[in-house]
Structure 1
């Protein structure tokens, strides 16, 4: 009997999950964005849109700024379904606003009511992305769309950065239409791309330690690279003032296009240890598969959260 009940519960859960996705497909069927939208992403970050009376044409209506902010919050803060579900819409929006203001994505006195222009949406997306990565424009005069001339330098910068990394694509006539309202479908696609970019940038790069040695001579925080056909060898050097220290590589993280941080852990001597007062250098060489890196032009830097030794 218990087994039958358990099986029936599993079937019910399975069918209920199917009904959610069926509703999404039926509601958005025939819309140009149907094949672009990730249904699970929509469920997690735009679940307030999933209603029985939602029509495909509703996706082309302007999105409310407060809902855009709420969706952005769920991406940044991690999707916490139980918290979102138990709170009222007003509480969720208040929490989102407070959080994004604390991260300086939203202005402290900024209005969250009304609609959201495309240039405003891009500004929030780029500011969100720059919390975890550096975005550089090599050519300051770079303008990917022909209707950017009348914009402030601030918005030119945000739109250029968003275009460069692929969050926005613009229209077929090479315009961006920055003053137009962001539609629901545009908001979904913008944030879907944003989440993918954040996940890619925060991805750890696999590596293998191939050599470790101590030396009496060296250069503090030196990073050198050697390339073979398929591998890249990266050697880091750290200076220590006495014996008793140790250095280990914890992870390698991509934080910008072609830029990587080698996160290290520094073990300090115990307070009562008898130490040799001699400067020494720890050298560690790691091997990385070249296909995991962006291109031939990449740089590495050492990063440490250890408070005892400050990297110069």
Structure 2
């Protein structure tokens, strides 16, 4: 990879316009660290899933020079278990060693090409059943926002494309640069939880007391044990009512949410400080360094030291749920 990392976006027939622009918006906000090109399989205009087409600047020659390839989603009505026309040649043009990133239905293309067999991946939760039926050899996890499996990354629908691109900026250049990009794009550097929070579920009654103030209070006091009883007491609810309303609003249980926040805070400290693991554990509310190691490994499959090394130039395989 040279001083400027080349990202090539492959637009397929029926592409979603919003997702088509994500890579340019995110990577293009990283102050000259990336060059973003957009191509089609034949270099010609591409029909979107809206009432217009887009003219792209490049054909397959651009793919041959890519350091990272981004595959945006295309209309669900065009999905098949086979590769779309022309895509075989496009995938063959990607140089060895390039990273490949799919957004939403883009994972169907990678799976149809056999590139996800035996690997972890994700896609939009609405399409999980169809994906499993067509591609049973893929280790699909429809509950996460994106999966980083090293040289191949897959993400869920729409805005999860922003999450995975920000993650790559963080992986390439660290937290400070990724946070600058997030601020420029007016998006959060990390989103809490996985796709489960976006699956249709009962909405709390408008006149009921919410849990947002208690969540904010918890974030300000993550270094404390924070039992469910304390959380419910802060919200002035019974344990049962608090747990129900919290899950309705957030999509995960209070205990699971707390672990996610503590792991997320620990990841930030591992990336941005030289604090010892035991010290980080204390700052984020895990009783011991061993507890932090267990929770971090359960969340992303690596140890704290391995995770820290990642942000000093080494590779990492992880699944992101926060």
- The structure that is strand-richer by fraction is 1
Q: If the length of structure 1 is used for normalisation, what is the TM-score?
A: 0.28
Q: If the length of structure 2 is used for normalisation, what is the TM-score?
A: 0.27
- The structure that is helix-richer by fraction is 2
Q: Which has the larger radius of gyration?
A: 1
